[in-house]
Amino acid sequence: MIVRILSVVFVFLMPMLSAQAAELAPRTGSQGLFSVEKDSAINGRVRAKQHAELSSVMGARILRIPVQEGSGFRKGSLLIEFDCAVENAELSRANATYKTAKERAQISQELIDLDSISKLELVMAKSEAVKAKAEQRIWQEKVRRCRIYAPYDGHVAVLHVQPYEYARPGDKLMKILDDTQFEVEALIPSNWLTRMTMGMPFSLIIDETGMTYQATVKNIGAEIDSVSQTVKLVGVIQGDTRGLITGMSGRLVMPFADGAR
Listed by start position, the domains of the chain span 28-50+178-253, 85-145
Query: Which residues does residue 159 pair with via DSSP β-bridges, in sequence order?
Result: 174
Whether the per-residue pLDDT at 22 is higher than 90: the answer is no
pLDDT higher at 38 or 173: 173
Query: In this model, does residue 19 exceed pLDDT 60?
Result: no
Give the pLDDT confidence of 73-87 residue by residue, as tens digits. 999 999 999 999 999
Distance CA 234, CA 204 (A): 12
How much is the mean pLDDT over the chain? 83
Q: Is the pLDDT of residue 35 over 50?
A: no
Fold held by 28-50+178-253: Elongation Factor Tu (Ef-tu); domain 3 (2.40.30)
- How large a percentage of the chain has pLDDT more than 70? 82
| The CA-based dihedral angle spanning residues 9, 15, 16, 20, taken in that order and rounded to the nearest 10 degrees | 140
Q: What number is the average pLDDT over the span 213-228? A: 90
Compute the distance between CA of residue 116 and CA of residue 212 in angstroms, rounded to an integer: 83
Please answer whether residues 50 and 177 qualify as being in contact, where contact means their C-beta atoms are separated by less than 8 angstroms: yes
Residue type at position 128: E
Is the distance from CB of 51 to CB of 178 less than 8 angstroms?
yes
Residue 111 has pLDDT above 50, yes or no: yes
Q: What DSSP string describes 190-226?
A: GGGTTT--TT-EEEEEETTT--EEEEEEEEE-S--BT
Q: d(Cα 56, Cα 174) in Å, to the nearest integer? A: 10
pLDDT digits (tens, 9 = 90+) for 153-195: 999 999 999 999 999 999 999 999 998 889 999 999 988 888 8
Integer Cα distance of 189 and 40 in angstroms:
9
Cα–Cα dist 13/8, whole Å: 9
Q: What is the pLDDT of residue 259?
A: 42
Homologous superfamily of domain range 85-145: Helix hairpin bin (1.10.287.470)
Whether pLDDT at 242 is above 90: no
Assess whether pLDDT exceeds 80 at residue 233: yes
